[in-house]
Structure 1
Amino acid sequence: MRRPFITFLAANALSVTGNIFSILAVPWFVLETTGSAVLTGLASFATTFPIVISAAFGGTLVDRFGYRLTSVVSDLVSGLIALAVPALFLTTGLSYPLLLLMLFLRWLVTTPGETARKAMLPDLSLAAGVRIERATAAYDGVCRGAAMVGAPLAGVLILWIGPHLLLFVDGVSFLLSALLIGAGVPRVRRNARDSAGYLGDLRAGLSFLWQDRLQLSATAMVVVVNLLDTGVTQVLLALYAREVVGDPRAFGLLTGVLGAGAVAGTIVYGAAGERLPMRLTYGLCFLLAGVPRVLVLALDAPFPVALAVTALSGFAAGAINPILGILQYDRIPVRLRARVIGAMTAAAYAGMPVGGLLAGSLSTLTGLDVTLLMFTSVYVLISAPPFVFRAWRELDRSR
C-alpha cells in the first residue's frame, strides 16, 4: 500500500521541478526577447499575483470537486498552457500581452493542484501506514529537494536549450505529474456534501481559521517570516555579497547551504520527530531558522562562519513545515481542509512582495548593517508566540 504514497511524492516532485523551471525560465525569456527590466518585473507580477488569488478562492472548489480530480485537472491545464508558450513563440509568434495572460492563467490553475495534493496527504499516509510526522517531512523534503536540484538544473538547461524550450520541459513535467496522480494514486475519501454554495463554503473556511487561535497565530507568524525571508533572500543577501564579501558567488553559496540544511533538517525530523516535544521543537526551530543567519551577517563575521551558521539555520527550518502540516491535518475538519489550507497559503504569499520593497528601502535609508539588525529584531519578536501564548500549549496535545 505504500506504492501510491511514493507515486504521490514523485508526482509532487515533478510539479515542483516544473514550477522552478518556469520561475527561472520566464524572466530570462522576457529579458532575451524584450531587453526590458520593467517588462520582466511585470511578468514576475503576473506569476506571483494569481497564486494569492487562487489560493484564497480556489481551496473551496478543491473541497467541492475532490482532491484527486482537482490535482489531475490542474496539472493537465497547467502543462498545456506551459507547452503553448514555446509552441506559439516558435510558430505564429507570441506577443508580450498574450504571454502575460498565459502566465497569469498558468499560475491561477496551478495553485489548486498544489492545495489538493497537500490536502490528500494525511489520507494517503494513513493508507500507507506512514506516521504523519514522517509523511509531512517526506512531503516537505521532496519539495525542498526538487527546488534545490531544479534551480541549478534550470540554469544549465537555459544555457543548453534556451529558456523557451525549458518552458516546454516545464509543461511535460506537469503532464507527467497528472498521469502519475491519475493512474497511480487512488481516490481518497470524499468530502461531506453539506455545501452552502460557493460563498457559504468560502465563508465557512475563513470563519474556522479566524476562530482557531492557534492556527491563526501560526499563520500570522508565517506571513511575517515570509515577508522577512523575501527581503533577506532577494535583496539583503545580494547586497551583503556585493558590499561585504565582494564576490557574487557568496550569494549563491549562502542560498545553497540554506536549502541543503533545510533538506537535512527535514530528513532528521522525519526520522525523530515523533519523539520530540512539538511546541518546544517548533518554537526553537522557528527562532533558529531566522535569527542566527541574519545576525551573523549584521556582525560582519568571516564568510566561512556565515556559511556554517546559515547551514544551521537551514537545518532548523527543516522541521517547521512538517509541524505546520501536522497542526493543519489534526485540527482542520476534512470537509474544510482545502479551503482553510488555501486561505493560509494565500496569506503566506501576500506579504512576500512587500519584503523586497521593505528591505530595499530600509537598506537605502539606514545602511545594510542596521537593516539586518532590524530584521533580526523582528525575527526574535515573531518567534515568541509558542513560548508566550497559552493557545500554543494545544500543540503538545495534537497527537
Structure 2
Amino acid sequence: MTSDTTTDRAAEPSKSGPSLWRDRAFLQLWAAQTVSQFGAQLATVAVPVLAIVVLGASEFEVGLLNAATTAAFLVVGLPAGAWIDRMRKRRVMIAADLVRALALATIPLLWALDRLEMWHAYLVALVIGTATVFFDVSYQSVIPVLVRRTRIGEANAKLEATAQVARIGGPAIGGGLLAIVSAPFMIAATAVTYLVSFLFLLGIRDDETPRERTPGVGLVGEIREGLSFVWHHRLIRRITLNTALANLFGTISMTLMSLLVLRELGLTPAVLGLVLSIGSVGGLLGAVATPWITRLVGEGTVIPLSTVLFGLSACLVPLSAALPAVAVPLLIVAEFGFSFSVLVYNIAQVSFRQRVTPHHLLGRMNASIRFVVWGVMPLSALLAGALAEVIGVVPTMWVGAICQLLAGAVVVFSPFLGMRTLPEADEES
C-alpha cells in the first residue's frame, strides 16, 4: 500500500486556507520559477541565433537541435514518473536545476576556447532535456503537496502569470542584448538563472514523505498504473490526445519560426525577440483572465474554445510570409493569440488534472501525459527540418498550422463543450 502523509494541508476541500501570499514554501517556489523562466526566455532567442548565425546550421540541423531538446520525454518520460513518485519532488527539482546550469555553462566555455561545434549543442540539449523531464514532472506534482486543493488553480494562475511576464521581458531584452553581446554569453546568463532557482528551492521546507514502494509491483507495473489512470479517465484521455496533436503540429511552426524570421523574412534577432515579447503579453492576460473566462463560459467549455483560438493563431504565422509589408504585426498578433489561448487552456486542464488525481499517482499521471504530449515533439521537429529542406519553410509551416486547427476537433466534439463544472475525483470514479 502507499503512504501519503504529504496531503494533510490539501485534505480540507471545504476550507480555502491562508492566502498564498503568506505561504512561504509557495512563495519560494514562485520566486525560483520566475527567475529560471526569465533565463529560459533569454535562451529562446540565444539558442536559435547560436545555431543559425554563429554555427551556420541548416534547416535539418535546426530541426535536429529542437528534437534533441525534447527527445528525453520520449525516452525516459515514463520511468521518470514512477521514480519521481518514490522521491521527494523538491529534491528532484534541485538536482535538475544544478544539472541544467552546469550543462549550459559548457557552451560559452567551448565557444571561448574556439571549440564549439553543432554536436556540442546537440549533446547539451539532450542533457538539459533529460533534466527538464525530471524537473517538469516534479514541478507539476509538487504543487498539490505545497498548497491546499482549493488553492491549486490560484497557484497555477500565479505561476503562469509570472512565467508570462518573463516571456514578455526575456525575449525583448535578449534580442536587444544580442546587438551588444554574443549568443554564448546569453546562454551563460541562463545558466546563472538556474543556479538562482536552485538556491531558492534549497530554502523550501515541505512535509512530503516519499511513497513507499508497493510490494510485488515493479517499475513496469507502476508505469502501467499511471498509464491506466490516464487512459481510463474519459476527460483526461481527451485532454492528452488533444494536447499531443496540438504539440505534434504546433512544433513544426515552433521549430521553423526562427528560420522564417531570420532567413525567409530577413529580419534581425532583435525583431524576433520583440515579436516573442509583445506576443507574450497575451499569455499574461490569459493567465490573469482565466478565472473570469472560466466563470463566464464554464470549466469544460473553456478547453475547446481555447483550442480553436490557438489553432487559428497558428495560421497567421505562415500567412506573414505572403504579406511581408505587415509581416511583423501579423506575427505579433499570432503570438499574442497563441500565448493567450495556450495559457487559458493549460491553467484549466492542468488544474483539473491535479485536482482529480490521487496524490500517490501524481508523478506517474504527469509523466504519462508528458510522455505522450512531449514525446511527439522531437519527432515533429525532425519532420519539420526534413520537410522544410524538401518543400520549403513556409509550405511546411502551412501544413503544420492547418493540421493543428483541424486537430482541435478532439475536444470541440466532446463532453467538454457546454460543461459548466468539471467533475471531481469521486464523481469521475
TM-score by length of structure 1 reads: 0.80
1:1-58 CA-to-partner distances (Å, cap 9, x unmatched) read: 3232122112112222333334443444455664443655544433232343343332
Residues 67 and 379 of structure 2 are in contact (CA less than 8 Å); yes or no, is this contact kept in structure 1? no
The reply on whether 1:73 has 2:95 as its aligned counterpart is: yes
Aligned to 2:373: 348
Does structure 2 conserve the Cα–Cα contact (< 8 Å) formed by 1:292 and 1:313?
yes
In structure 2, relative to structure 1, the CA distance for the partners of 1:346 and 1:158 (3 Å cut) is farther
| Cα distance change of structure 1 residues 114 and 261 upon mapping to structure 2, 3 Å threshold | same
- Say which of 122, 128, 140 aligns to 2:160: 140
Trace 1:357-368 onto structure 2 (pairs within 5 A): 357=383, 361=387
What residue is the counterpart of 1:332 in the other structure?
Answer: 357
Counterpart Cα distance in 2 of 1:120 and 1:189: 9
- Work out the CA distance in 1 between the residues paired with 2:51 and 2:318: 33
Residue 292 of structure 1, CA deviation:
5.7
For 1:154-173, what aligned pairs fall within 5 Å after superposition? 154-173=174-193
What residue is the counterpart of 2:218 in the other structure?
A: 197
Rounded Cα–Cα distance in structure 1 between residues aligned with 2:121 and 2:274: 33
1:233-272 Cα shifts (integer Å, max 9, x gaps):
44489769998xx774897776555422122111111466
Q: CA RMSD of the aligned region, Å?
A: 4.0
1:112 matched to 2:134: yes
Amino acid at match of 1:379: L
Q: Which runs of 5+ in 1 are unaligned?
A: none
Structure 1 residue corresponding to 2:198, chosen from 138, 163, 178:
178
Structure 2: runs of 5+ lacking an equivalent: 1-21
1:153 corresponds in structure 2 to 173
Contact 1:293 1:313 (C-alpha < 8 Å) held by counterparts: yes
Aligned residues: 394
Equivalent residue for 2:408, pick from 367, 382, 394? 382
- Give aligned-pair identity as a percent: 20
CA distance in 2, matches of 1:374, 1:170: 30
Deviation, structure 1 residue 375 = 4.1
Instruction: State the Cα deviation string for residues 178-222 of structure 1 (Å, max 9, x = none).
Output: 110111x22243243134333322222122222222111111101
Shift, 1:75, TM fit? 0.9
Matched, 1:19 2:40: yes
Q: For 1:375 and 1:41, locate their aligned partners in 2 and report how far apart those are by CA, in whole Å.
A: 17
Secondary structure of the equivalent of 1:140? helix
In 2: Cα distance, 1:288 partner to 1:354 partner: 24
- Structure 2 residue identity aligned to 1:58: A
Q: Separation in 2 of the partners of 1:241 and 1:178?
A: 34
Q: Which moved more, 1:225-234 or 1:326-335?
A: 225-234
Q: Which amino acid aligns with 1:222?
A: T
1:76-95 equivalent positions in 2, closer than 5 A: 76-90=98-112
| Aligned twin of 2:340 | 315
Partner of residue 75 from structure 2, selected from 46, 53, 70: 53
In structure 1, distance between residues paired with 2:235 and 2:70: 27
**2:315 matched to 1:287?**
no
Of the structure 1 ranges 247-256 and 205-214, higher mean CA displacement relative to structure 2 is found in 247-256
So what's the TM-score if we normalise by structure 2? 0.75
Alpha-carbon spacing, 1:21–1:53, altered in 2? closer, same or farther (3 Å): farther
Preserved contact between residue 278 and residue 323 of structure 1 (Cα < 8 Å): yes
CA distance in 1, matches of 2:261, 2:98: 41
1:145-186 CA-to-partner distances (Å, cap 9, x unmatched) read: 323322232233334332222232222211111110111x22
Q: Secondary structure at the match of 1:318?
A: helix
Q: Which moved more, 1:250-259 or 1:321-330?
A: 250-259
Alignment of structure 1 residues 174-253 onto 2, 5 Å: 174-183=194-203, 185-195=204-214, 196-235=217-256, 248=267
Mark the CA change 1:190 to 1:387 in structure 2 (over 3 Å): closer, same or farther: farther
SS at match of 2:209: coil
Q: Distance in 2 between matches of 1:31 and 1:104?
A: 19
Is this contact kept in 2: 1:46–1:103, CA < 8 A? yes
**Whole-angstrom CA distance in 1 between matches of 2:379 and 2:168:** 24
Kept in 1, the 8 Å contact 2:42–2:171? The answer is: yes
Q: Which moved more, 1:10-19 or 1:291-300?
A: 291-300
Q: Any idea what SS the aligned residue of 1:189 has? A: coil
